[in-house]
Chain A
Amino acid sequence: DAGITQSPRHKVTETGTPVTLRCHQTENHRYMYWYRQDPGHGLRLIHYSYGVKDTDKGEVSDGYSVSRSKTEDFLLTLESATSSQTSVYFCAISEFEGSRGKQPQHFGDGTRLSIL
C-alpha cells in the first residue's frame, strides 16, 4: 500500500472551531489532493497541490484552506467549522505522467469529521 497517513482518523468538534487535518506521505509524489465524500455526492475535490507551496481549488473549496510547506505534508484547515462540513475526508497522492498516461491516485484511510 502507498505510504499515506491521515491524522486524526476521527474527530468530533463544535461549530465555529478551527480544525486542521493532516496528510503525510512517504512516496515523494508531487501531487496531493483533499476530497470529501458524502452520501449521494461521491468524492468531491476540495483542494489539490502540484508542488511545495503550489495549490489550487477544487469544486467545493469554500470554507477550506490548504498549505503545503514540504513535499510530504498537505494540511487541510477548516477555519470555522460548520455542520455542513461533517463528512469523511480523504487525502490522495499521485505522480507524474507515466508512459501510458497519468499515474492513478492512491488514497489514505480517511478522516471521519463530525461537527456538532
Chain B
Amino acid sequence: RKEVEQDPGPFNVPEGATVAFNCTYSNSASQSFFWYRQDCRKEPKLLMSVYSSGNEDGRFTAQLNRASQYISLLIRDSKLSDSATYLCVAYNFNKFYFGSGTKLNVKP
C-alpha cells in the first residue's frame, strides 16, 4: 500500500470554479503535511503547509483530518494559471512521502 494516495484526475474545470482535492495517508505517525504544485517538466514547488487547525492562503485552503488520515486542498475562483499537477506530501521520521499527484486543467 502506498504511503500517500491521491486521485490522479484529471480534473477539468472552467475558470472561476471551485475545485477540491483529497489525499489519504497510511501512517498515523505522520507528523507534517504539505501541498506542492508541479508544472509539466518542472520541479515541484511548495504551495502550502497544512496545519491541524486548517489554513488559508489567498484562494487556497488546506485542511487536515488526523482521525480519518486525509488532507484536502480547496481552490476557489480557479485561474488558467492554476493548471498543474498537485502533489500531496506526508512527512515522517526524516522522510517525505509523495502522492502521485492530481492533475488539474482549468479551461477558459
Instruction: Give the interface of A toward B (CB within 8 A).
Output: 31, 33, 35, 40-45, 48, 50, 56, 58, 90, 92, 94, 100-102, 104-110
Instruction: Give the interface of B toward A (CB within 8 A).
Output: 31-32, 34, 42-46, 49, 51, 87, 89, 91, 94-96, 98-101
Chain A residues within an 8 Å CB radius of B94: 31, 48, 50, 56
Q: Once the chains bind, are B49 and A109 in contact (CB under 8 Å)?
A: no
Q: Once the chains bind, are B43 and A104 in contact (CB under 8 Å)?
A: no
With A41-B100, A104-B49 known, 12 other A-B pairs at CB within 8 A are: A31-B94, A35-B98, A40-B100, A42-B98, A42-B100, A43-B44, A90-B43, A101-B31, A101-B91, A102-B31, A104-B89, A109-B42
Task: Using known A-B contacts A31-B94, A50-B94, determine if residue A42 contacts B46 with beta carbons closer than 8 Å.
Answer: no
The docked-state distance in angstroms from the alpha carbon of A44 to that of B97 is 8
Task: Using known A-B contacts A33-B96, A42-B98, A45-B96, determine if residue A106 contacts B46 with beta carbons closer than 8 Å.
Answer: yes
> How distant is B50 from chain A, measured CB to nearest CB, in Å?
9
Chain B residues within an 8 Å CB radius of A92: 96
Chain B residues within an 8 Å CB radius of A50: 94
Identity of the chain B residue whose Cβ is nearest the Cβ of A44 in the assembled complex: B98
> How distant is B33 from chain A, measured CB to nearest CB, in Å?
8
The docked-state distance in angstroms from the alpha carbon of A102 to that of B96 is 10
The docked-state distance in angstroms from the alpha carbon of A114 to that of B96 is 26
The docked-state distance in angstroms from the alpha carbon of A59 to that of B89 is 15
Interface centre among A100, A102, A105, A110 (most CB of B within 10 A): A102
In order of increasing CB-CB distance, the 6 nearest A-B pairs are A42-B100, A102-B32, A101-B32, A107-B43, A43-B98, A102-B91
> How distant is B53 from chain A, measured CB to nearest CB, in Å?
10
> How distant is A5 from chain B, measured CB to nearest CB, in Å?
12
Identity of the chain B residue whose Cβ is nearest the Cβ of A91 in the assembled complex: B43
Interface centre among A58, A101, A104, A108 (most CB of B within 10 A): A104
The docked-state distance in angstroms from the alpha carbon of A87 to that of B47 is 24
Q: Once the chains bind, are B87 and A43 in contact (CB under 8 Å)?
A: yes
Chain B residues within an 8 Å CB radius of A105: 34, 46, 89, 96
